[in-house]
Amino acid sequence: MQLADDSEISALTLAYYNQRAEDFREGSRGHDVSQNIDALLRHIQSEPPFSILDFGCGPGRDLRTFTRLGHTAIGLDGAENFAQMAITDSGCPVWCQDFLKLDLPNERFDGVFANASLFHVPSQALSRVLSQLLVTLKPGGVLFCSNPHGANVEGWNDGRYGTYYDLAAWRIYMGSVGFVELEHYYRPTGLARELQPWLASVWRRATV
């Protein structure tokens, strides 16, 4: 895999999203991710309402959904323009934090929803970031993630940095920090695998 400097990855990727925040909001407004939200929520074993961290919340679309379902949602995004949009559009708290410089509370959340966000974390930082997400979950808490999959390569793509793992490699990363797999699937559903660019998976923090 190609390695790159963390600070450069963050600066250029966040600049990409800040510059295109309005276009991204309009382009993603109608995306149906209900399958992914359901996959997270059905595996949480605590009593609702749940405390949810929307990791990489973007303009706040899914924060509104979690709130409408009666849960307590907090957003996190490194792009300042996204964070402000999400606060305005959802009314939820949003933490503006670089994925590679996280400052998360311990055992705060029942669930973490990382929809199309973790693939921006370079391989050399991934285990650290996953460990931080593990610790911010309550014991038994659940992490959902959806990433574009690939042949275990990484690098720049149209001004953004991305990592593209297959299921076997993703399982190694997740298991090595203490997550237990609950399920996985490819999206969009009902299509041939070569037409399903997204790998979704759900993981639990062990209770001991």
Mean pLDDT, the chain, rounded, equals: 95
Judged against a pLDDT cut of 80, whether residue 2 lies above it is answered with no
What is the per-residue pLDDT across 23-37, written as a single tens digit (0 to 9) for each?
889 878 878 899 999
pLDDT mean over 200-208? 91
Structural domains in the chain, CATH included, are 6-205 (3.40.50.150)
pLDDT mean over 189-197? 93
What is the per-residue pLDDT across 36-68, written as a single tens digit (0 to 9) for each?
999 999 999 999 999 999 999 999 999 999 999
Judged against a pLDDT cut of 60, whether residue 118 lies above it is answered with yes
Judged against a pLDDT cut of 60, whether residue 3 lies above it is answered with no
pLDDT of res. 31:
85
pLDDT mean over 131-151? 98
Please tell me what DSSP assigns to residue 121.
S
Whole-model pTM: value is 0.96
Percent of the chain with pLDDT over 90: 90
pLDDT mean over 82-101? 97
Q: SS3 helix, strand, coil % of the chain, rounded to 5?
A: 40, 30, 30
pLDDT mean over 110-119? 98
Task: For strands 153-157 and 72-77, give the pairing.
Answer: unpaired
Look up tokens 């800040």; give the residue.
18
